Amino acid sequence: MVYMDTGSPWLPPAPPGTIGVPPTTSQAPSGANPGEQGPPFEEGKRSWRKRLAAPFVALLAALSKLKALLLLLPNLKLLTTAGTMAVSVAAYSLIWGWTIAFGFVVLLLVHEMGHVFQLRREGIRASTPMFIPFLGAVITARSLGDNATAEARVGLAGPVFGGLASAVCLVIWRLTGNNFWEALAFLGFFLNLFNLLPVSPLDGGRAMAAMAPTMWFVGLAMMVAFLFLTHFQNPILLIIILIGALDSSRRWKQRKEGGAEQMEYYSVRPRDRAIIAAVYLSLIALFVLGMTATNLHATL
């Protein structure tokens, strides 16, 4: 927030005749007749005062507008999130209709807020999510943590939050029998399961940074095989493979040539590695069970 002291002594006095400031009156010099006007230099003095004050008044008005704009910046960030959410809902509605599309984007928001929540727990400022139709959403932060263990925690926080939201949809479906919630639960479980693929920069790739970075390339091979099996009918999968290949090769090279700093980053205690592996495998199992429980694959 920008604080601006409008009572600063450096600001010029208001011009004569403005509200709150009584206009000055010229006084006849001693010895002059009352009916005569004062000397001409009195008028010139007031004119110069107005000229000197005008630029400062204009500057003050401009600073006031700048202050208002700065105060609105947080709201502009929220508008960016809301705007990109609306675009994504419109895009997904072309496939599922707007009700399912809206619910899916909300599940995606919950997933991303899991990352934001964990980043802030790690002491890292994170942006609000920005949605990209058919590619999910992104958040920006200066880092993912001080080491690979923190990176894994940040990566897995998204599927944990998203899995809980999907489970809520599943419970509502069981209680109401409304197929809308069944469809939403299935999509939520599928979204979070897909994100656990061991490919950087997906969430599974973040977990592999602490477990086994070589799995990045195993995950890429799996995705390439799946792309061949689907006869290249999914261009989004191809985009993810290209991004994953570039990011994995960059990180692998950085890991090998980074020296002691990179060795320290990827140094993970066996206990932490075991916990991350347990959470990762448990999430996969739960998401598969969730998708099986909805049985939606038979009706899509």
pLDDT tens column, 203-216: 999 999 999 999 99
pLDDT for 180 equals 94
Chain centroid to Cα 98, Å, comes to 23
pLDDT, tens digit, for every residue of 9-22? 333 344 433 334 34
Look at residue 192 and tell me whether its pLDDT is greater than 50.
yes
DSSP-assigned letter for residue 296 = G
- Segments forming the whole domain that contains residue 76: 66-298
CA separation for the pair 286, 274 (Å, rounded) = 18
pLDDT score recorded for residue 39: 54
The beta-strand segments (E) located in the chain are 130-132, 136-138
pLDDT exceeds 90 at position 275: yes
Evaluate the omega torsion of the peptide bond into residue 9 and state whether it is cis, within 30 degrees of 0: no
Prediction pTM value: 0.71
* 24 lies in some domain: no
Asked whether residue 168 is domain-assigned, the answer is yes
> Which whole number is the average pLDDT over 88-108?
93
The reply to whether 51 falls in a domain is: no
* pLDDT reading at 219 higher than 80: yes
| pLDDT (0 to 100) of residue 246 | 93
Domain count, the chain: 1
β-strand partners of 57: none
User: Is 87 part of a structural domain of the chain?
Assistant: yes
In a domain, 82, yes or no: yes
